[in-house]
Structure 1
Amino acid sequence: MKKKILIVEDMQAVRNVIANALNEYEIVTASYGLEALKILDESPSSIDLVLSDYNMPNMSGMKLLTKIRKHANSDIADVPFIMLTTERDIKKKKKAKDAGLTDWIEKPYNYEVFKGKIRHALNKSEKVK
């Protein structure tokens, strides 16, 4: 069974590029945080990894991470979460790590590093489930 990744990104073109790069996985997409939370709530144990942009309108990736980590359902609260971002601010990175971020991938992506971090996060999630 293919692992399922939820991509949360407000820019359609970026969502498409990421989805195409991860074609060996089942991909679900959301264009904003509330949509992502709805997807998680509707099928809590089916998402194996969340990849989220940091800077999005209405709900930042950081806010989404916080809401997920505080979720009452442990299948949702414990899902690995990787932030995709152009952010370089060390304080924001530390705050995200402290909030339960699994990993941080800076744009532009190094393809091999990108894929490696995703594989690593998915392998860690297998051990937890």
Structure 2
Amino acid sequence: MQKAMGPNTGTTFYVTLPIAPLSLHDEIIETKNSEISDLTESLRLSGLRILVAEDERDARDFIKLFLESNGARVNVVKNGLLAWKELNDMPEAFDLLLSDIGMPEMDGLGLITKIRSSENPEVANLNAVALTAYAYTSDRVKALKAGFNNYVSKPVDGEELLTILEMYLPETSL
């Protein structure tokens, strides 16, 4: 009997993975659980209200989960237009904007330009951090000149992001 070959005929892979002895496995789990407890006890962003503008769903969901697990209250939107609408509808609701630069409909540079030229001082003076894959020095300079207060490049280092965002904690949270 001859097997069919070519596109759409399928492939089978076999993988053998070693498993740690049970006692070592339990030690690893205990260590991980204590590390998680340590993290949840230090809610570094407690009290910080953040609006996140990010067009990629996975990144948006991850950032929201990461920030909330560190104590922040987070609203997420998928582009600059929706962020602009949120800020104009509820300017008092946010302490900080965390925005991707490259987004459809209105990118982060367009958003920060609108924010900085707003007639509403709560909107115009909102702290804003660019979060972007554009990692060249010229990109950083462009974002800062456009009006972002700070800049974090992707892939994001969690400790770096937390350290930067802590700078924008409301006075009452310190």
Q: TM-score, normalised by structure 1?
A: 0.90
Which residue does the alignment assign to 1:17? 62
Q: CA deviation at 1:99?
A: 2.4
Query: Counterpart of 1:2 in 2: which secondary structure?
Result: coil
Query: Counterpart of 2:122 in 1: which secondary structure?
Result: helix
Distance 1:39 1:57 in 2: 17
Report which structure shows greater RCO (CA 8 Å, sep ≥6). Answer: 1
Which residue does the alignment assign to 1:97? 144
Asked whether 1:6 is paired with 2:44, we answer: no
Asked whether 1:54 is paired with 2:101, we answer: yes
Structure number with greater Rg is: 2
Q: CA deviation at 1:126?
A: 4.2
Which residue does the alignment assign to 2:165? 118
Give unpaired runs (5+ residues) of structure 1: none
Q: Which amino acid in the other structure matches residue 64 of structure 2? A: A
Give unpaired runs (5+ residues) of structure 2: 1-45
Q: CA deviation at 1:110?
A: 1.1
Q: Which amino acid in the other structure matches residue 112 of structure 2? A: L
Q: CA deviation at 1:101?
A: 1.1
Instruction: Work out whether residues 56 and 78 of structure 2, in 8 Å CA contact, stay in contact via their aligned partners in 1.
Output: yes
Which residue does the alignment assign to 2:92? 45
Query: Counterpart of 1:45 in 2: which secondary structure?
Result: helix
Identity of aligned residues (%): 31
Distance 1:33 1:126 in 2: 28
Q: Which amino acid in the other structure matches residue 72 of structure 2? A: Y
Root-mean-square deviation (CA, aligned residues, Å) is: 1.6
Q: Which amino acid in the other structure matches residue 4 of structure 1? A: R
Where do 4+ consecutive residues of structure 1 move more than 4 Å? none
Distance 1:29 1:54 in 2: 15
Q: CA deviation at 1:2?
A: 2.8
Which residue does the alignment assign to 1:85? 132
Query: Counterpart of 1:108 in 2: which secondary structure?
Result: coil
Q: TM-score, normalised by structure 2?
A: 0.67
Q: Which amino acid in the other structure matches residue 113 of structure 2? A: T
